Amino acid sequence: MTAHGADCSVCGDETFAFWTLSSYRETQVQGKITLEEILTADDEAVYNIVSHAPGPQGRLALTEEQLTNAPSGHIFGMSQSVGMGWDPAKLGGEQFLLLSTQGGVRAGNGKPVALGYHSGHWELGLLMRAAAEEFQSLGCIPFAGFCSDPCDGRTQGTPGMMDSLAYRNDAATIFRRLIRSLPTRKGVLGIATCDKGLPAMMMTLAAMHDLPSVVVPGGVTLAPTAGEDLGTVQSIGARFAQGEVTLQYAQEMTCRACASAGGGCQFLGTAATSQVVAEALGMSLPHTALAPSGQAVWLDAARRSARALVRLNQRGIVAGDIVNGAALHNAMVVYAAFGGSTNLLLHIPAIAYAAGLTRPTIKDWDAINRKVPRLVDVLPNGPVGHPTVRVFLAGGVPEVMLHLCQLGLLQTGALTVSGEKLAGLLDWWEKSERRKRLRDLLYRQDGIDPDEVIMSPAKAQQRGLTSTITLPRGNLAPQGSVVKSTAIDPSLLGADGVYRMVGTARVFLTERAAVEAIKKGAARLRLAAPRRVQPGQVIVLICAGPMGSGMEEVLQVTGALKALCWGKDVAVITDGRFSGVSTGPCIGHVAPEALAGGPVGKVLDGDIIEIVIDCKSLHGSVDLIGDADAPAEKRSIEFGNRLLAKRKPRPDLAPRPDLPTDTHLWSALQDIGGGTWGGCVFDVEKIVRTLDAGKNALSRR
């Protein structure tokens, strides 16, 4: 086995041992637990039981008016609050609710008693405490509620991924119910970090139109001083399988990839992009997205956000004053300038729907991305690929907004949770000590010029940064699709900046089957060619949309291809979605999805597919142009149209057999609500109308 960075000749004819879950050595519980040990206790203290207590001392400051007219729940709540230890003399303060996605159980020294699902929610309790203490110092009464969130990275390649996107809607429902269940609250502070938890929090607070609310982004984890970031390390199994890294290297890199205990991944994936969007919407204070988790600057954001929420309440400013059309426009513009995860094309429409706004259409996304240059050099897009903490030090969202403002691309009259309009905040930022000191720190500490991380439009163009996404249409995606065109390897583009491919289709109905075929292609095992993915082919992964698998994230496919020396010569088309760390000619969100009758569900092995992505003009197409028997001179989009018109959907199209019933219900409801390009939301009015129509139709049978 060769060292890391070995020549791509390792993809030769030698076989290798595939990495599988069976490679793990399961740790066994030490010793056998007996029945007696689970039924009896050896601690005498368990029999020292107290059956009554005097209760809190003092009196509740109840008035005759309260006793006569207040809901009994208000009085019962006061008794509960004092019972939990609150000073009866301090029950008159205004109440504010803190909501969080935190997970795990931390000891006082920060060591885990029980692990969380991911680092993104591991340290959020520290933010909750800092904000709660600030509320107390202001004479307010803080309440706290929680709904933890899963980790897309942990569920990659497992059935857990089928619950990922559906969780977002469920969590937003839970958070809304928690808010309504504390009717005495004056405002809500939402603290969240990652892929589904933070979008759920934004959906929740956007829906609280008449309530003051503030989002505190959970920050980012640090990249190791020497090692691989959390995006790169996810392909280490495929690289080990090829012989590109040693076992010792893999062991060391996977151990140190999370260089600090808390925060979202170090790349601009869905977690980091969501933090950027929260700030761009005006839902977070300026320069709070992407702060390094666990550090003083991160804790300070929680304290100042608590103050901001109290100030909003004092001034009568509510969520509906902030999350409006101008805020939505700014969020889409800043998303494009950062080069964010394509998953935000699912989440921003959902936030808009929650706020009662018109959801952006594919035409709206297209128009924004044609106007807005990408200005940020960050993982995974490059060209250098800085970790997200450097983007924070270089100035983060307000620094990017300064450039966008100069281009006239922002609506600077938008109100923010600071209580001030965006224009005033950008004037403050440009002259602030914070901006100067943190940008200087980046240069002194890391030797990085902040203007090489967040660039001016002229410098970005000089460095070859292209606009973020292209939205291809065609006879395989009549309702649209998306590719992060800025992350396509420049070596694949023509001199005109256009990616062109005509390739043979390899159709897969599950991610597992696609990954297995890629690995067989990597190993060059002496298998029949149809069983392998090879350069020049187009992987068509269907039944991966909401109706098939809950719209799973297919990072295993894109990650494996990225790790192979020939992987860039394979394109991917799917009705599923991609991780924010995915790169290359990978076209997702194909609509309609296969199980909704989309033409992509008619593609057969051997079909000829043409892909064109203009990374400059942002025009794109994905078309069937022939079948396996069509000679080259007869291939055309018209020929493909005729083929699709004749064909019926593949007979093997089906949801995953292990699709959870919860997710199956979610997929049906979100399809009525507008599907993928509608943000996968529950449009209640449409759902009720559809159910009523169905009941009426059944009654007439």
What would the pLDDT profile of 88-132 be if each residue is shown by its tens digit?
999 999 999 999 999 999 999 999 999 999 999 999 999 999 999
3-class DSSP assignment, residue 351: helix
**Cα–Cα distance measured from residue 338 to residue 269, given in angstroms and rounded to the nearest whole number:** 11
What separation in angstroms does the CA of 321 have from each of 208, 260, 416? 11, 37, 9
- Whether the per-residue pLDDT at 36 is higher than 70: the answer is yes
What is the per-residue burial (b if ≥16 Cβ within 10 Å, else e) of 449-487? ebebbbbebeebeeeebbbbbbbbbbbbbebbbbbbbbb
DSSP string, 432-460: -HHHHHHHHHHHHHH---GGGTB--HHHH
Token pair, residue 443, equals 């240069």
Q: For the chain, count helices (H), then strands (E).
A: 27, 13
**Cα–Cα distance measured from residue 485 to residue 466, given in angstroms and rounded to the nearest whole number:** 8
- Whether the per-residue pLDDT at 53 is higher than 50: the answer is yes
pLDDT at residue 1 in the model: 34
Of the chain, the percentage scoring pLDDT greater than 70 comes to 94
pLDDT at residue 237 in the model: 84
3-class DSSP assignment, residue 304: helix
Cβ contacts of residue 311 below 8 Å, gap of 6+? 419
DSSP state of 386: B
Greater confidence (556 vs 611) lies with 611
pTM, 2 dp = 0.93
Greater confidence (435 vs 701) lies with 435
Tens of pLDDT, residues 247-260: 999 999 999 999 99
pLDDT at residue 634 in the model: 95
3-class DSSP assignment, residue 553: strand
The mean pLDDT value for 393-408 works out to 98
What is the torsional sign of CA 414, 420, 426, 429? negative
DSSP state of 509: S
**Cα–Cα distance measured from residue 418 to residue 396, given in angstroms and rounded to the nearest whole number:** 17
Q: What stretch of H or E contains 574? A: strand 571-574
Residue 182: pLDDT band (50, 70, 90) is very high
pLDDT at residue 357 in the model: 98
**Cα–Cα distance measured from residue 395 to residue 287, given in angstroms and rounded to the nearest whole number:** 7
Cβ contacts of residue 450 below 8 Å, gap of 6+? 393, 394, 395, 399, 439, 442, 443
- Which of 293-307, 348-362, 387-401, 515-529 is predicted least confidently? 515-529
Pick the closest to residue 291 from 124, 147, 144 (CA basis). Answer: 124
Q: What stretch of H or E contains 492? A: none
pLDDT at residue 239 in the model: 82
Strand order in the sheet with 95-100: 141-146, 95-100, 185-192, 213-217
Crossing angle between the packed helical segments 270-280 and 197-207, to the nearest 10 degrees: 20
Residue 279: pLDDT band (50, 70, 90) is very high
**Cα–Cα distance measured from residue 323 to residue 321, given in angstroms and rounded to the nearest whole number:** 6
- Whether the per-residue pLDDT at 140 is higher than 80: the answer is yes
3-class DSSP assignment, residue 330: helix
Pick the closest to residue 681 from 367, 355, 215 (CA basis). Answer: 355
In this structure, the number of other CB atoms found within 10 A of the CB of residue 604 comes to 14
Tens of pLDDT, residues 205-253: 999 999 999 999 999 999 999 999 998 898 888 788 778 899 999 999 9
Residue 158: pLDDT band (50, 70, 90) is very high
- Whether the per-residue pLDDT at 26 is higher than 50: the answer is no
The mean pLDDT value for 355-371 works out to 97
**Cα–Cα distance measured from residue 177 to residue 208, given in angstroms and rounded to the nearest whole number:** 11
Residue 520: pLDDT band (50, 70, 90) is confident
3-class DSSP assignment, residue 242: helix
Find out whether 564 and 552 touch, Cβ atoms under 8 Å: no
The mean pLDDT value for 494-521 works out to 92
What separation in angstroms does the CA of 30 have from each of 27, 33, 106, 625? 9, 9, 23, 61
Write out the catalytic residue numbers.
579
Residue 22: pLDDT band (50, 70, 90) is very low
**Cα–Cα distance measured from residue 508 to residue 649, given in angstroms and rounded to the nearest whole number:** 14
In this structure, the number of other CB atoms found within 10 A of the CB of residue 419 comes to 16
What is the per-residue burial (b if ≥16 Cβ within 10 Å, else e) of 541-552? bbbbbbbbbbbb
Give the residues across from 574 on adjacent strands.
541
- Whether the per-residue pLDDT at 523 is higher than 60: the answer is no
Residue 522: pLDDT band (50, 70, 90) is low
Tens of pLDDT, residues 341-351: 999 999 999 99
- Whether the per-residue pLDDT at 21 is higher than 80: the answer is no
Pick the closest to residue 487 from 267, 669, 274 (CA basis). Answer: 267
The mean pLDDT value for 621-649 works out to 97
- Whether the per-residue pLDDT at 524 is higher than 70: the answer is no
Averaged confidence pLDDT in the chain: 93
